[in-house]
Amino acid sequence: MRFNDAVFGVIIVVFATAMMIFAETTFPGLPGQDYGPAFFPVGIGGGLFLCGVALIFQGIAKRKEAPLAQLGDWVVSPRHLINFVLVLGSLVFYVLASDFLGFIPTSLLILTVLMYRFGCRPLVAVGMAVAVTFVIHSAFYFALRVPLPWGLLQPVAW
Amino acid sequence: MEHWLQAYELVVNPYVLLVMVCSAAFGLFVGAVPGLTATMATALLVPVTFFMDPIPAIAAIATCTAMAIFAGDIPGALLRIPGTPASAAYVDEAYTLTRKGQAERALGTGLICSMLGGLFGSIVLATSAPALAEFALNFSTFEFFWLACLGLTCAVIISSESRVKGLVSLFLGLFISTIGMGVVTGFPRFTFGITDLMGGVSFIPAMIGMFAISEVLRFAVRTKPMPKVEQKPFGSLFAGIKGTLGRYKFNLLRGSIIGTVIGILPGAGGDIAAWVSYATSKRFSKEPEKFGTGHVEGLVDCSSANNAALGGTWIPAMVFGIPGDSITAIVIGVLYMKDMNPGPTVFIERPHMVNAVFLAFFLANLMMLPLGFLAIRLSRQILRIAHAALMPTILMFCIVGSFAINNTTFDVIIMLVLGVFAYIMEENGFPIAPVILGIVLGVMVEDNFITSMIKSEGSFLAFFERPIAGVLGVATFLVWTVPLATTLRRRMKASRSTT
């Protein structure tokens, strides 16, 4: 998914302006110092602002060969669009559901769906999902002692 | 000598050796699978090394990256897809050799030259880093401020075709580094009341997002199918290698030197080293017309260069805490977590640890010969592994790896956000390396600047008063202004000639 440089330029200019105003108005100064917590963020914002302006000019200069937005092949292919949404969706799903469901059910679900979606046969997808979940869980929970959540499986935790 | 003996004990023991062999296998695998990079291998390995002592952790990363950079040659030669960006410069050459039925020659030469180049880089690292560290002991906050600026400048100039886009990446990285409680100022910035952000954006989840999640996303939307490997057994890998090395010994040395030097430059690593040495090789070759037709000469230059670059990138990382490329940026993050803060003092206070790192480098490169040989033999099996099962596995590994650092789901959110961010940026030609360097060096630039300003009571001139600081400061300004001035002059000349 490609955008004209000017699109990024505008976003960056807006972001930089907001950032500078926020830093300048809400960060306190150090007593007796000219250089407080706001100094660097404002400097970075200033730099970003200039870059944004430069990108706007570059984008306008190249407007003939670079349209405002150029969608990749995959955006018009529903199959790939669903893949993209599924990968992001599974991350969001993990964040929202892992505490309640527990690591093992969440991981099984995500892995099975994604593997099947990417082209594994259903049985292979389930088998691989079980194997991978088991290996990751053992490695991180038991060997590295990372407290992965048990969730629903708490009563049968091993 | 006594430090070397201590270092030997630290490295040559069953535990560290086992860790090295495992990370070597991991590195070879990740490097050999197209679409998975050496940086991604490092990012995925870090959550595991997080639970180790400093020496095994660093040895694991050094071994893994060395192997991954070599293994990138394998799919390059067999499929014409570089396994890691470091192999991109010479895939066509290697693949043409394969099509001529000489795959073993391409891979054998790549393996031997990678090892020799890697050993060269390690020697330069082990000899020059301590000397540089002794020199750097006199540095104060002023010098470190300028060094960090110079490092960031190089990162912008080298890593991207568009300087403005490189700068945007850098500023965004610097911005990310200001999030959280500032060290000098002690005021929470851009946290918006989120307690998880008080300590700043967690470094490892950020890395994993930018280097691994973005790659998984790219796979998910890939519309072209992966090409299949031909099933044909290899002949002897090292037949005629002696002749090749004898004939191109000068290329081997030149590639190693170019690789090491480019590695030292901040922001540039094995991939740029390979491009530069391929171009140099062609430029000075007696038979430039043979390049591109399956000629082994360029392979000697590049394979040694990209592995030599690895040792080079660690020099500024260990001596000044300035990363030579995105992999060493991750390494610096790890060193801080392991309480082995990079900088000249670590060479004085813990020389045995530093020597152990050098030793691990040598060992890793020596291990490359047998393990790389095995990897080439198994390459057809590795390349047949279905991405359909591999990518979801990597995704799950990323989730758990990000979670493991602070045991919080918030880090998974950071990984997700930065992964999408990196994906969009790369699609539109914004380089990622300056973002990482900005995150790592941002704190260093700000702390040294504020501390220096407090010391000098607000006088900016103090940044030029000490001789070395002055030279570094002027150099930084020149690096920025000279290219700008030449472009302006060229434009003015051009406009004058048209009117």
What are the pLDDT digits (tens) for B224-262? 777 777 667 777 778 778 888 888 888 999 999 999 999
Q: Do A110 and B458 touch (CB under 8 A)?
A: no
Question: CB distance A90–B175 less than 8 Å?
Answer: no
Chain B residues within an 8 Å CB radius of A106: none
Mean pLDDT score of chain B, rounded to an integer? 87
Chain A residues with beta carbon closer than 8 angstroms to that of B458: 33-35
The answer to whether the Cβ–Cβ distance between B389 and A115 falls below 8 Å is yes
State the pTM of this model.
0.87
Contacts (Cβ under 8 Å, ≥6 apart) of A57:
A9
Q: What is the pLDDT of residues B47-63, one digit of tens each?
A: 888 888 889 999 999 99
pLDDT digits (tens, 9 = 90+) for B14-72: 999 999 999 999 999 998 888 788 888 998 998 888 888 889 999 999 999 999 999 98
User: Which residues of chain B from 409 to 448 reach within 8 Å of chain A, CB to CB?
Assistant: 409, 412-413, 415-416, 419-420, 424, 427-428, 430, 446
Residue B384's Cβ-count burial label (10 Å; 0-12, 13-18, 19+) is exposed
Give the Cα separation of B245 and B367 in Å (integer).
20
Contacts of residue A127, Cβ cutoff 8 Å, sequence gap at least 6: none
B149 in contact with A at a CB cutoff of 8 Å? Answer: no
Which residue of chain B has the CA closest to A40? B446
Question: How far apart (Å, rounded) are the C-alpha atoms in residues B358 and B125?
Answer: 7
pLDDT digits (tens, 9 = 90+) for B414-431: 999 999 999 999 888 898
3-state percent breakdown (helix, strand, coil) of chain A, nearest 5 = 75, 5, 25
Report whether B171 contacts A43 (CB < 8 A).
no
CA-nearest residue of chain B to A7? B428
Contact B189 A37 (CB under 8 A): yes
What are the angstrom distances between the C-alpha of B50 and each of A49, B167, B337? 38, 31, 8
Tens digit of pLDDT for each residue in B152-196?
887 787 766 788 898 999 999 999 999 988 766 678 888 888 888
Say how far apart CA B122 and CA B125 lie, in whole Å: 5
Report yes or no: B215 and B23 within 8 Å, Cβ to Cβ: no
Interface test with B, best of A40, A48, A58, A115 (most B CBs within 10 A): A40
Report which DSSP code applies to A3.
E
E strands, chain A, in order: 2-3, 69-70
pLDDT of residue A47: 92
> How many CB atoms lie under 10 A from the CB of residue B231?
7
**Residue-range domain boundaries for chain B:** 2-225+234-455
Alpha-carbon distance B222 to A80, whole Å?
A: 7
Answer whether B400 touches A (CB < 8 Å): yes
Residue B450 Cα, gap to closest chain A Cα (Å): 7
State the average pLDDT over residues B274-286: 88
Tally the residues of chain A. 158
A125 vs B338 pLDDT, higher one: A125
With tokens 């996303």, the residue in question is B217
The answer to whether B204 touches A70, Cβ cutoff 8 Å, is no
- Can you give the pLDDT at residue B15? 94
Beta-strand pair B180-181/A2-3: unpaired
CB-CB under 8 Å, B412 with A114: no
User: Does B302 reach chain A within 8 Å, measured CB to CB?
Assistant: no
Q: Are B10 and B353 in contact (CB under 8 A)?
A: yes
The answer to whether the beta carbons of residues B280 and B256 sit under 8 Å apart is: no
Tokens of B322: 């300035």
Q: Is B480 on the interface with A (CB under 8 A)?
A: no
Search chain A and give the residue with CA nearest B221.
Answer: A80
Residue B115 has pLDDT above 90, yes or no: yes
Question: Is residue A4 less than 8 Å (CB to CB) from chain B?
Answer: no
For residue B303, the model assigns a pLDDT of: 92
Helix and strand tally (H, E) in chain A? 6, 2
pLDDT for res A154: 83
Start-to-end CA distance of chain A, whole Å, equals 46
Q: Does B174 touch chain A (CB under 8 A)?
A: yes
Per-residue pLDDT at B450: 84
The model's pLDDT over A30-86, given as tens digits with 9 standing for 90+, comes to 666 667 788 888 999 999 999 999 999 988 888 877 777 777 767 777 888 899 999
Asked if B372 contacts B115 with a C-beta cutoff of 8 angstroms, the reply is: yes
What tens digit of pLDDT does each residue of B137-159 get? 888 888 888 888 888 887 787 76
Continuous segment of H or E residues that includes residue B351: helix B351-377
Query: Per-residue pLDDT for A133 more than 90?
Result: yes
Kindly indicate the confidence band of residue B118, based on its pLDDT and cuts at 50, 70 and 90: very high
Q: CA-CA distance, B160 to B364, in Å (whole number)? A: 31
pLDDT beyond 80 at B215? yes
Binning pLDDT at 50, 70 and 90, where does residue B363 land? very high
Chain A, 33 to 72: residues with Cβ < 8 Å from chain B are 33-37, 39-41, 44-45, 47-48, 51-52, 54-55, 58, 72
CA B407 to chain centre: 27
- Section B356-364 average pLDDT: 93
Contact A33 B446 (CB under 8 A): no
User: A107 and A151 in contact (C-beta within 8 Å)?
Assistant: no
Q: What are phi and psi of B198, to 5 degrees?
A: -55, -45
B55 and B353 Cβ atoms separated by less than 8 Å: yes
- Chain B residues within an 8 Å CB radius of A119: 386, 388
Nearest Cβ partner of A74 from B48, B223, B397?
B223
CA-CA distances (angstroms) from residue A135 to A115, A157, B421?
16, 16, 30
Contacts of A69 in chain B (CB under 8 A): none
In whole angstroms, what is the distance from residue A52 CA to residue B414 CA?
25
Domain coordinates in residue numbering, chain A: 2-70, 74-156
> Among A33, A74, A88, A32, which residue's Cα sits nearest to residue B416?
A88
CA angle A124, A128, A131 (to 5 degrees): 145
